[in-house]
Amino acid sequence: MRIWIVFIFICTASIFISCSTVKPWQRTYLNDPGMQMAGSPGKTFEDYVQSIRTGSVVAGSYKSAGGCGCN
């Protein structure tokens, strides 16, 4: 558990200290719809199903109104 947390923190910190300046006119690739962090509607549905069929939840996923998921 601790090793995983340390690993995640190191990855996070490494990512955030290695960033460079990107001007608005240099963001062609970043502005592509496929580069957005929000998943597609289909991916959201799959993550919702996975949160029911497993004991865990997907971090960062959007949970719409609740349901029992008991079927």
| Spatial contact of 43 and 51, defined as CB atoms under 8 Å apart | no
Total binding residues for another protein by CB under 8 A? 58
Closest approach of another protein to the CB of residue 50, in Å: 7
Which of positions 5-34 make contact with another protein (CB under 8 A)? 5-6, 8-30, 32-34
CA separation for the pair 58, 21 (Å, rounded): 31
48/45 Cα distance (integer angstroms): 5
Binding site residues, another protein, CB under 8 A: 1, 4-6, 8-30, 32-37, 40-43, 45-46, 49-50, 52-60, 63-68, 70-71
